[in-house]
Chains A and B, each alone.
Chain A
Amino acid sequence: MGRGRGDFDVLVVLAAGGDRDALGELWCGHQSSLLRYLRGRGCDDFEDVASQVWIDVARGLPGFVGGEVEFRKWLFTIAHHRHIDEVRRQDRRIRAEAAKPAPRVTSPHDNGDLAAALHLIRRLPPDMADAVLLRIVADLSVADVAEIMGRREGTVRVLVHRGLQRLGTMVPPRLESWESGGTHGSSRSLDLVR
């Protein structure tokens, strides 16, 4: 994300030409957020879906125009639609997953923090979860999220706001270590609030 526009353009051009290093770099830079988005959406086969998303990306790379932000928006647009397709196929399984009990959240900075966070997000209504994930994980602007979701920007803001509020009600009481700022990235999170 610290890459300049020109560098990313070169990377995309190389990747579109089949350069494996460039493809690998694209993949490494976005795979984790893609997986988290799909996991947060409750996609059981998130790895398979992610692979399919990447293949779609590869097929469309020769026609892609834009910088890293546009690429991210495009990537998550594909993921969004892929997930919708997946939901239509596995609707029952997803509901069963949402009904599972939440894992024990002992600390936000243990190895299970990501899993716990994703599990909480999966308990949100689908639209809320989608908006929150696209805003936080995909790091997209409200306008981009609105475009992907086919909603108005105001609606997206409300969805994100309510989604975060609801997440706050789900989170167990904070641990002392968290409040004392001893966690990784805590200062960064607090910056986001302001």
Chain B
Amino acid sequence: MTNEFTPDEGPAQDVAWIVDALRWPARPDELDGGERTVNAMAAAIAGVKPTTLPHSRHGRRRIGVLVGIACVGIGGVAAAGAASVSRLDIVTPVSDEQPATTADSVLRPTTVTTTTSTPAPVPYVVSHDDNEGDEGNDRRDEDGTTDPGVAPAVVSSDEQATTTSFECAEGNHGTTVSSVAHATPPGSDHAAAIVTAAHSDCDSDDPDETSTTTVVIDTTAVPDTSVPPHTDDNRTARNANAGNDNGNGNRDSGNANAGNANAGNANAGNANAGNANAGTGNGNAGNGNAENGNANAGKSNDPNGHANGKGNAVEPAD
């Protein structure tokens, strides 16, 4: 006991026994239920960690690892599902010079999710000029500025082009389909392009040779980037892609997204999930899907606000 009573407040001898009784060491009956309380405390700590940034490094890392593990598991299932989908034989080899936008992260195999503590970004940009460099982490606005928080409705950066090539490396079919969906402007050709991409065979018969899928998209139709991201067309697109993005798509639109998302479109869900989520380490989708089937993101997003894509795996962006 560290605090002595001062003379003006000191206890009279009449009450000394009260002081003693109050300061007497803990009695066994006072320490009942310790295990239950400690368990509750541990649970409280586990629950509070994501929100206490300055002191929750361990917790954030642990959550990231758990999300990553979930993504890997879901990604494997999704990949297996995608492999069973029949594909059209429209695969054509491409030159060694790959578009800069087919960044490593785009074609990253699902095993990359082992780097869950630093979630890899999911690029939205599918077709770019070669001089854009490796911009896998960010999407570019029309003025060239990066805006990692908003995904453009139409991603194709070359409006003069009438065709866009997409690589489907190492069997990452879902990502390819996703890319096509994003690169295709809303319109009548949108769904067809996605279907084509989805049915394309991007797996290489020769494991030593990386095959690619070339999808012809008529971007001359209406590459209108001003179209709101939540129109029915867009939503359809996202559904189709689906998978591709659970993570990003959601993050992009914030509201419409996720939800729209997967719902319904089985393919989407499966196809991508695997790729996008796992590959990029975007937890959400992964989580969401795991628990809610294809409805994904929806749930995962909620608690994390907008941060879906990258953020979920670690923490809310704000």
Contact = CB atoms under 8 A, between A and B. Distances in A.
A complexed with B = yes
Interface of A: 1, 15-18, 20, 23-24, 27-28, 31-33, 35-36, 40, 47, 50-51, 54-55, 57-59, 61-63, 69, 108-109, 113-114, 116-118, 120-121, 133, 135-137, 139-142, 157-158, 160-161, 164-165, 167-168, 171, 174, 178, 183-186, 188-190, 192-194
B12 to A, nearest CB: 5
16 contacts: A15-B41, A15-B45, A31-B34, A32-B31, A58-B44, A120-B18, A135-B5, A136-B23, A157-B6, A160-B5, A168-B14, A183-B20, A185-B24, A186-B17, A189-B17, A192-B4
A23 B5 contact: no
B144 interface: no
A183 B41 contact: no
A63 B9 contact: no
Contacts of A121: 18, 22
Given A31-B30, A31-B34, A137 B17 contact: no
A184 B27 CA distance: 14
Given A135-B5, A185-B24, A35 B30 contact: yes
Interface stretch (B49-57, B240-248, B253-261, B310-318): B49-57
A51 B19 contact: no
A62 B52 contact: yes
B131 interface: no
A174 B14 contact: yes
A31 B36 CA distance: 13
Contacts of A62: 45, 48-49, 52, 54-56
A167 B18 contact: yes
A32 B158 CA distance: 72
B58 A17 contact: yes
B138 to A, nearest CB: 32
Contacts of A135: 3, 5, 9
A31 to B, nearest CB: 6
Contact of B21 (A113, A141, A192): A113
Given A17-B58, A32-B30, A58 B20 contact: no
B247 to A, nearest CB: 28
Interface residues of B, number: 49
DSSP majority for the A interface?
Answer: helix
Given A16-B55, A141-B3, A193-B5, A24 B13 contact: no
B85 interface: no
B16 interface: yes
B188 interface: no
From A40, A114, A192, residue with most partner B Cβ within 10 Å: A192
- What are the 6 tightest A-B residue pairs by CB atom distance, in nearest-first order? A32-B26, A108-B17, A189-B16, A62-B55, A58-B41, A168-B14
B40 interface: yes
B143 interface: no
Contacts of A47: 33
A108 B9 contact: no
A169 to B, nearest CB: 8
A190 B39 CA distance: 40
Given A18-B42, A139-B1, A141-B3, A161 B21 contact: no
B175 to A, nearest CB: 37
Nearest to B18: A117
Given A17-B45, A189-B19, 17 more contacts: A23-B38, A27-B41, A47-B33, A50-B37, A57-B41, A58-B45, A62-B45, A121-B22, A135-B9, A137-B23, A142-B6, A157-B9, A160-B9, A167-B18, A171-B18, A188-B20, A192-B11
A161 B52 contact: no
B17 A161 contact: no
